[in-house]
Amino acid sequence: MEEAKRIQSLPPYLFARIDEKITAAKAKGVDVISLGIGDPDRPTPEHIIRKLAEEAYNPANHRYPSYVGMPEYRQAVSDYYQRRFNVELDGKKEVVALIGSKEGIAHIAWCYLNPGDIALVPDPGYPVYSVGVMLAGAESYRMPLLEENGFLPDFDIIPADVAARAKLMFLNYPNNPTGATADAAFYSKAIAFAKKYDIIICHDAAYQEIYFDGYKPISFLEVEGAKDVGIEFGSMSKTYNMTGWRAGWAVGNARVIEALGRIKSNVDSGIFQAVQAAAVAGLLGSQDCVAEMRAVYRERRDFVIDGLNAMGWNLKKTLATIYVWPRVPAGFTSSSFAELVLEKAGVVITPGNGYGECGEGYFRISLTVPTERLLEALDRMRASLGRLKF
């Protein structure tokens, strides 16, 4: 049973590996607090669940769904873009439903990459970008996201021969794992670079509704020329606490959206229609639940950053996302620090090198555990890690 070459070097998913560590620690009797995966702990808002329950009884929803998404779902996504970003989208041609944005991010590589082609991926970055590229038989060129550049890639240092072979570029703001944000001037630079080298931009905007302190992310599609060169991925997962429901979308350039829909109609059968109807209720209903979610994460962010700063870190408050991305203390690697924190405090953090070489020297804390557990995790770290040097 020899595996295909394309998966021989494919490791288990980062969070599957972390789950193994959690299971092993729990088996030893440790009361593990996982600040690992970004998986919201709070329930999906009541009105969305109610809509799912109602629609689950409708036999029309028990059949195959529309491959690219129900018209009502695609229209709701386009209404959301109009309301939130003043971006006009044709629900029929510029929106495709995804079974969570993760699958679209993986499948887009199949649409545009041949062996020998290059995709530009951020480092550190969500592992699915480079895995999709690898499964398509192409190569990833890693764009370093450095703290001194605000965790934005520097397009000027990408060699011209690499840019000439590149077909796709993944960007992601607000950023996982760093929590960094991007503005219109940055997206304009990306668009000019993409136009010069004929590259499709795939902007992952999964965290665009999680923002604090008066900051509000813009959409990549708001920027002039964006629709000529790219698409944006979005998701119900983090905004409405719906990671398990698998409902997302890609929007933007009609040709790219059509290609993604064509791949998908051949390999999957779309999202359960009752889930789509519930997502429509989320997108078009009251957004008070989203404001509440932001208030909860802002409070947790403050606890984590103030708590770590009291232990010797010197972190600024992040303006968006559910992540905090500190450097490891002196004398540690990402992995050795994550191991120490698990061993001494029973707390799981994600080692930064799981997001790429440039993540080495950092770790990620996810704010998606109940606040009292988060505070307990910080207490345990304070009590058990001893004096740390920075």
Query: Using CB under 6 A, which of the segments 20-28, 36-44, 112-120, 263-271 binds ligand MLT?
Result: 36-44
CB of 304 to ligand MLT, least distance (A): 15
Query: Using CB under 6 A, which of the segments 19-27, 35-43, 69-77, 246-254 binds ligand MLT?
Result: 35-43
Cis preceding-peptide flag for 40 (omega within 30 of 0): no
Which letter does DSSP use for residue 327 in this model? Answer: B
CB of 125 to ligand MLT, least distance (A): 10
CB of 177 to ligand MLT, least distance (A): 7
Q: What does the H/E/C string look like for 162-179?
A: HHHHEEEEEEECCCCCCC
| Burial environment of residue 64 by CB neighbours within 10 A (0 to 12, 13 to 18, 19 or more) | exposed
Q: Find, among 41, 14, 34, the residue nearest to 242 by Cα.
A: 41
φ/ψ of 172, rounded to 5, equals -155, 100
Measured from the CB atom, is 36 or 153 closer to ligand MLT?
36
Binding to ligand MLT (CB under 6 A): which residues in 329-368?
366
- The residue behind tokens 């729990």 is 26
The Cα 310–Cα 305 span in angstroms is: 8
Query: Using CB under 6 A, which of the segments 32-40, 264-272, 281-289, 375-383 binds ligand MLT?
Result: 32-40
Measured from the CB atom, is 102 or 301 closer to ligand MLT?
102
What is 167-224 written as a DSSP string? Answer: EEEEEESSPTTT-----HHHHHHHHHHHHHHT-EEEEE-TTTT-B-TT--PPPGGGST
CB of 280 to ligand MLT, least distance (A): 22
CB of 243 to ligand MLT, least distance (A): 7
CB of 176 to ligand MLT, least distance (A): 5
CB of 387 to ligand MLT, least distance (A): 30
Residue nearest to ligand MLT (CB): 38
- The residue behind tokens 């889930």 is 275
Q: By CB under 6 A, is residue 38 in contact with ligand MLT?
A: yes
- Of the residues 32, 33, 37, 96, which one makes contact with ligand MLT according to CB under 6 A: 37
Measured from the CB atom, is 41 or 54 closer to ligand MLT?
41
Binding to ligand MLT (CB under 6 A): which residues in 144-203?
176
Measured from the CB atom, is 197 or 323 closer to ligand MLT?
323
In our burial notation (b when 16+ CB lie closer than 10 A, e otherwise), range 140-162 reads bbbbebeeeeebbbebeebeeee
Strand ranges for the chain from DSSP E: 33-34, 95-98, 118-123, 139-144, 166-172, 200-204, 230-235, 248-252, 323-324, 347-348, 350-351, 363-366
Task: Determine the size of the site formed for ligand MLT (CB under 6 A).
Answer: 7
Query: Using CB under 6 A, which of the segments 2-10, 34-42, 88-96, 194-202 binds ligand MLT?
Result: 34-42
Please say whether the beta carbons of 337 and 35 come within 8 A: no
CA angle 146, 148, 154 (to 5 degrees): 55
Query: Using CB under 6 A, which of the segments 33-41, 182-190, 248-256, 288-296 binds ligand MLT?
Result: 33-41
Query: Using CB under 6 A, which of the segments 37-45, 151-159, 224-232, 372-380 binds ligand MLT?
Result: 37-45
CB of 208 to ligand MLT, least distance (A): 14
CA angle 171, 175, 179 (to 5 degrees): 160
Cis preceding-peptide flag for 217 (omega within 30 of 0): no
Binding-residue pattern over the window 87 to 116 for ligand MLT, x denoting contact by CB under 6 A: ---------------x--------------
CB of 312 to ligand MLT, least distance (A): 26
CB of 390 to ligand MLT, least distance (A): 25
Q: By CB under 6 A, is residue 130 in contact with ligand MLT?
A: no
Q: By CB under 6 A, is residue 293 in contact with ligand MLT?
A: no
Cis preceding-peptide flag for 12 (omega within 30 of 0): no
Which letter does DSSP use for residue 76 in this model? Answer: H
Residues that bind ligand MLT in the complex, under the rule CB under 6 A: 15, 37-39, 102, 176, 366
